[in-house]
Amino acid sequence: ITSRQSCRSGANPGCVVARLLHWSLCPCSTHVPCIDPPPPQKLRPSPPSCMSNAACTCGARGGTDECGGRQLMMSRITMNQIDPLANATVVWIDIAAGTNTVRLDNVGLINGGIGVRMDSPSDDPAGVSPGRPLFLLANDLEIDFPLLNAIELSRGEEVQLSNCYVQGSKLRNGIYVAATWNSEIQIVNSRIFGHNQSGIVLGGGAHALISNNMIGDNSVGGVGQHSGVLVLAGASDFILSTNHIGAVFKGQASSAQKAGVEIEAGVSDGYVVQGNTLTGNAACLLDGGTGTHKVVSGNVCIPG
């Protein structure tokens, strides 16, 4: 998927290549033009018959996939802004109000501004505009070198990320979960690496699970300024387990990260930080949560 020349030229900042609203769409095309002028009204697949408000046949999967129920599946697609500075405000996939389910399988999002964003004007009603979008299920998602947050979750219900490669935000974070996020996020078996600020920022939601990931060599913007995983003050109900957080490469003694895990001072409670390997960070673990229902134990600490 490539963007139209007017987007590449930077004439229309804030351009969104794929904006998913409360209508249905079938992945029938591998070329989706960037909509001009912003804000985009619709994603325009070719042929137009792929999009309707009724059930439709979903290309590569065959048969029906509940397209009428506002679901989208993208598979084996790479989107690349060849000139990384020409239109850095591009949002590659914008999951907006009323969207039901988005499935991403083997999708690559290179350069641009934000890789994937979920947001809506209101939290309720769930799955109905103007309320929050519902589900993002991503496997083998690659996001490289965005200008801002690679994945930005402001409003939504559930995100599952597995076997993902999220690398190199030039100014912000790998995965940013805002305080307005409603419910679950699961991040497993993924590599989150080399971001200007933190690898993961957890600010809200419930039942977050961050497990079996490589989270390393973040805080590229300044030594000791940002932690590998940052939990914002008051965020609660999360599990951080069996991650490697810190220096990535063999023989590397230190990374630029402030701490492997940092929980800001506040009333955070109901969490588990256990079984992580924290190597090469200036500090291993900074636990500022004042809650009494928590387990912080069994973490391997090798400071840099």
Q: How confident is the model at residue 15 (pLDDT cuts 50, 70, 90)?
A: low
Q: How confident is the model at residue 74 (pLDDT cuts 50, 70, 90)?
A: confident
Which pLDDT score is estimated for 35?
A: 35
Q: Is the pLDDT of residue 158 over 80?
A: yes
Mean pLDDT of all residues in 149-177: 97
Q: Is the pLDDT of residue 38 over 50?
A: no
Query: What six digits make up the tokens of 282?
Result: 């200036």
Which pLDDT score is estimated for 256?
A: 97
Q: Is the pLDDT of residue 81 over 60?
A: yes
Q: Is the pLDDT of residue 127 over 60?
A: yes
Which residues, at least 6 apart from 225, have a Cβ–Cβ distance to it below 8 Å? Answer: 197, 219, 256, 258
Per residue in 270-290, pLDDT tens? 999 999 999 999 999 999 999
CA 181-185-190 angle, to 5 degrees, is: 135
Judged on CB neighbours under 10 Å (0-12, 13-18, 19+), 149 is buried
| 3-class DSSP assignment, residue 85 | coil
Q: Which residue has the higher pLDDT, 74 or 255?
A: 255
Query: What six digits make up the tokens of 221?
Result: 């913007």
Which pLDDT score is estimated for 70?
A: 53
Q: What is the CA radius of gyration of the chain?
A: 19
Q: Is the pLDDT of residue 192 over 90?
A: yes
Q: Which residue has the higher pLDDT, 159 or 34?
A: 159
Q: Is the pLDDT of residue 206 over 70?
A: yes
Dihedral Cα 288, 196, 194, 76, nearest 10 deg: 110
Which pLDDT score is estimated for 222?
A: 97
Q: How far is it, in rounded angstroms, from Cα 99 to Cα 155? A: 11
**Among 119, 219, 214, 210, residue whose Cα is nearest residue 169:** 219
Q: Which residue has the higher pLDDT, 141 or 61?
A: 141
Ramachandran angles phi, psi of 149, nearest 5° = -65, 135
Q: Is the pLDDT of residue 69 over 90?
A: no
Q: Give me the chain's average pLDDT, please.
A: 81
Which pLDDT score is estimated for 47?
A: 32
Which pLDDT score is estimated for 80?
A: 80
Mean pLDDT of all residues in 212-223: 98
Torsion sign, CA atoms 196, 284, 192, 203: negative
Per residue in 227-266, pLDDT tens? 999 999 999 999 999 999 999 999 999 999 999 999 999 9
Q: How confident is the model at residue 78 (pLDDT cuts 50, 70, 90)?
A: confident
Which pLDDT score is estimated for 77?
A: 78
